[in-house]
Structure 1
C-alpha cells in the first residue's frame, strides 16, 4: 500500500513537471546557436545572397525573414515573457500585434532612412527588454516603486527597439537599391510568419504547462531564469562593445 502511494505520488510529480522540463528544453535549444543570435547575425549564406541580389525577390526574402525570427532567441524570450501571464487569445493577439507593429516600423524606417546605431548597444538594450519583462512578471516594479508601468506601451516601445536591432545589422551589408522597398517588406512579412510559427509552439507548451499544478510553483523560477538570460544577453553585447573599441 505504501509502495503504491509512493508510486502514485511519483507519477503525479512527473506529470506536473513535464511541461516545465519541455519549456526548459525549448529554451536550451534556443540558446544552442546563441553567439549568432545575440548579434542579430544573418547566416553567411543569407548574407551573401543579400549582398549579391538585385531586383525584386519576394519569396527568398520572406524565407530569410521567417528564418531570422525563428532563430531570433532574444525576440522569442521577450515574447515568452509578454505572453507568460496572458490567458486569453485576444490579449495575446493585442500584445503580439503591438510588438509586431513596433518591430516592423523601425525595421523599415531604420534601413530606408539609414538610421544606424551600434549593434552592440542596441542588442544590449534588447537584452535589457528581456530583464525588464521578467521583472514586470515578478511584480518587482509594483513592490519597488508602488507603480505598475503600462505594459502595452512598454511592449510597443521594446518592439521599436527590437526592430532597430535587425535594421542596424542589415545596414552593414551592401544591399542593392533595386527592389529594396519590396524586398524589405517581404522580409518583414517573413519575420511575422516566423513569429507566428514560433509563438504557436510556445503557446502550445504554455497551455499544457498551465493546466498542471507545477505552473504556479515554478512561475517565479521561470521568470528568474528568463531574467538571467536577459542579463547574459546584455553582458555578451557590452563585452563585445568594450572589446571592439
Structure 2
C-alpha cells in the first residue's frame, strides 16, 4: 500500500483509539443508558377481571419509585442489592417496600373498561428475572373492572422523560383479552391502546417501533456504516445489505416466534464482534491493496462479478446478520402464541427496520461516492476513519459485553 494510505489509516486509528478509551470508561455494557423497555402481558382473569404481568428494569424501577432519594429505604435496600448482584435481595427489597413500588406503577399504568377505571391489586410477591443480561422485576396485578364493556384500554406512562432518568421508554404489550390476541407498542407519543383498535393502527405502531429501534441501536448503525465504508460500488453495498437483510430476517422471525432461543450473553458480544470484524475487513483491504480495493472484478463483457474475497465478505456478513436478527428479536421481547396477527406485526416491525436501513444507505453511500471522486484523498481519510473508529468501538463493546456476561 502507498505511504499516503498507510499514514491515513494509522492517523485514523490513533485518533479513534483515544475516543474509544473515553467511551470504555463511560459505563457498563448492559447499562440501560438513555432508554428502557417495559413488558406487559395482559389476559382475562375471572369474571370482570383483567390480569397483567409487568416486567420493569430493576435498577430504574428502584430509583424511580424512590425518586432517587438517598435516605429512602427502598433506594438504600434496592441499590445495595443491585450492586451486589443478589437477585434474592433485589426481590426482597421491592417486596419489603411493596406499597412504594406498587403506588409508582399504578399511578403510571392503568386499565379501563368502557371508559371506567379498573381497580388494581397486587398478586403474590415481586420476582426477579433478566432480559438481555439486564435484571428485570416481575409484578403481577389483578384489575377489577366494571361489567358490561366489550373492550378494554391499557395506558402506560412508566418511566417518563420528565423523571430525567431515561428517555423514550417503550411498553411492549402482548394481550389475550376480549376474545382478541395481539401486540402493541406504547410510548409517550402513543401511550394507550384498546383491544378494539383497528389492524392498521396496530401495524403502524410496529412499523414505527422497528424504525426507532434501528435509529436508537447504535451498534446496528455502526455495523451498517462498516458495510458502507467497505463498499466502493453500488452493487457491493446492495449485495452486502441484501445478505445482511436476508440473514437477520430469518433469525428475527424464528426467535420472535419462540422457535429459536439464544441467550443474550452470547448474542450481544457476537454483535459487537461483528462490527469490529466487518470494519476491520475494510482496513485490511486498504492495507493490502490500496484505495482502489474492491470485491468486484470486471468480466470480459464489462459486467461485474464477485471475486473470492467478495464471496468471503458476503459469507461473513450473512453469518453476522443471523446474530443481529436475534438481537432485534430480543429487543422486541414478544412472548405469545402463534397467530397470523403476530406474524404480520413482526413483518411490519422488520419493514420498519429495513426502511431506516435503506434510508441510511441512500444518504451516506452517495455522499461517500461523491467525496471519493471529487476529493480522492479526503475520501480515503473519511472511509479509513469510519472503518477504524467503528472497528475499535466494536472491540470495546465486545470486551465490555463479554466480561459483563
Structure 2 counterpart of 1:7: none
Give me the whole-angstrom Cα distance separating, in 2, the residues matched to 1:36 and 1:190.
25
In structure 2, C-alpha distance between the alignment counterparts of 1:65 and 1:127, rounded to whole Å: 20
- Residue 190 (str. 1) matches residue 363 (str. 2): no
SS in 2 for 1:116: coil
Question: Does the 8 A contact of 2:30 with 2:401 survive in 1?
Answer: no
In structure 2, relative to structure 1, the CA distance for the partners of 1:167 and 1:97 (3 Å cut) is same
Counterpart CA distance in 2 for 1:88 and 1:221 is 19
- Could you tell me whether the CA contact under 8 Å between 1:37 and 1:73 is conserved in 2? no
1:48 corresponding residue in structure 2: 171
Partner of 2:230: 85
Q: Quick check: 1:51–1:176 contact (8 Å CA) kept in 2?
A: no
> How far did residue 200 of structure 1 move?
2.3
- State the superposition RMSD in angstroms: 3.6
Q: Quick one: distance in 2 between partners of 1:207 and 1:37?
A: 37
How far off is 1:224 after superposition? 2.1
Given candidates 373, 382, 396, the residue that maps to 1:232 is 396
**Structure with bigger RCO (C-alpha 8 Å, 6+ apart):** 1
Identify, as 1 or 2, the structure richer in strand: 2
8 Å contact from structure 2 (residues 30, 404) kept in 1: no
TM-score for the superposition, normalised by structure 2: 0.45
- Could you tell me whether the CA contact under 8 Å between 2:225 and 2:386 is conserved in 1? no
Partner in structure 1 of residue 386 of structure 2: 222
Separation in 2, partners of 1:197, 1:37: 28
Superposed CA deviations along residues 167-189 of structure 1, whole A, max 9, x for unmatched, are: 23334x54475521111111111
- CA shift for structure 1 position 36: 7.6
The change in CA–CA distance for 1:88 and 1:218 in structure 2 (over 3 A counts) is closer
Deviates more, 1:214-223 or 1:103-112: 214-223
Choose between structure 1 and 2: higher helix proportion.
1
* TM-score, with length taken from structure 1: 0.71
Tell me the alpha carbon deviations over residues 99-144 of structure 1, each in whole angstroms, 9 at most, x when there is no partner: 111111110011214422221320110100011112211227x97x
Larger Rg: 2
- Any unmatched runs of 5+ in structure 2? 1-11, 39-167, 183-198, 289-307
Contact 1:126/1:162 (8 A) holds in 2: yes
SS of 2:262's partner is: coil
Maintained 8 Å contact 2:279/2:388: yes
Contact 2:29 2:401 in 1 (8 A): no
Aligned to 2:173, the other structure's residue is in SS state helix
Structure 1, unmatched stretches of 5+, are 1-19
